[in-house]
Amino acid sequence: MVLLVWLHVLAAVSWIGGTIFLSVVLAPVLKREPFASQRSLLFRTVARRFRVVVWGAIAVLMLTGPPLLHQRGIPIMNPSGWPTVLSVKLGLVAMLLLFIVTHDLIIGPRVSRILQIPTESRPSSDRVMVAWSPWIARCSLLLTLAVLLAAVVLVRS
């Protein structure tokens, strides 16, 4: 069980830490003048690489979570027996996965294509998409932190 807990926590720390790094460190640094010309390329390259970490972390979390719940005596197949905080946590996880899938498979690729078009040639809908796309990542970060809080409450209850 210690190995499962360790893997679960390692996956969560990798995902959350990387997300915070991208949002709080990398994005602001790349907005500075020396990086302006390469900002999109650098951020996109790092984010694509990080995507592998995120999806690997998701796999580890989904594989280790059910055995950890079972070990605590929580009936995995009977949601009516779940503590409320577990239901909240899993609801947040579902929303987070929806955000990630939407970002990785729909919005991210579309924004990448839009960024290839000169700004003045973009339709207003494309400009709005580019402007709002970072908010998907910010909302994902907030959801990730909410999942972490729910996990801490679950472990402490």
Helices marked H in the chain: 2-20, 27-30, 39-71, 84-102, 108-115, 124-156
Question: Cβ distance 103 to 136 under 8 Å?
Answer: yes
Cα 65 from chain centre: 17
Domain count, the chain: 1
Distance separating alpha carbons of residues 137 and 135, to the nearest angstrom: 5
Q: Region 115-119: what's the mean pLDDT?
A: 88
**pLDDT of the residue at 39:** 82
**pLDDT of the residue at 136:** 87
Question: Cβ distance 70 to 76 under 8 Å?
Answer: yes
* Residue 103, pLDDT above cutoff 80: yes
Task: Retrieve residue 131's tokens.
Answer: 């402007």
* Main-chain phi, psi angles of 124, to 5 degrees: -60, -35
Query: Which pLDDT tens digit goes with each residue over 129-141?
Result: 998 988 888 899 9
Distance separating alpha carbons of residues 66 and 150, to the nearest angstrom: 16
Query: Which pLDDT tens digit goes with each residue over 92-102?
Result: 999 999 999 99
- Domain of 109, in residue numbers: 2-156
Query: Which pLDDT tens digit goes with each residue over 28-84?
Result: 888 887 877 788 788 888 988 999 999 999 999 999 999 999 999 999 899 998 999
Question: pTM to 2 decimals?
Answer: 0.84
Is the CA virtual torsion 121, 127, 131, 135 positive or negative? negative
**pLDDT of the residue at 38:** 83
Q: How many CA atoms lie within 13 A of 89 on its CB side?
A: 19
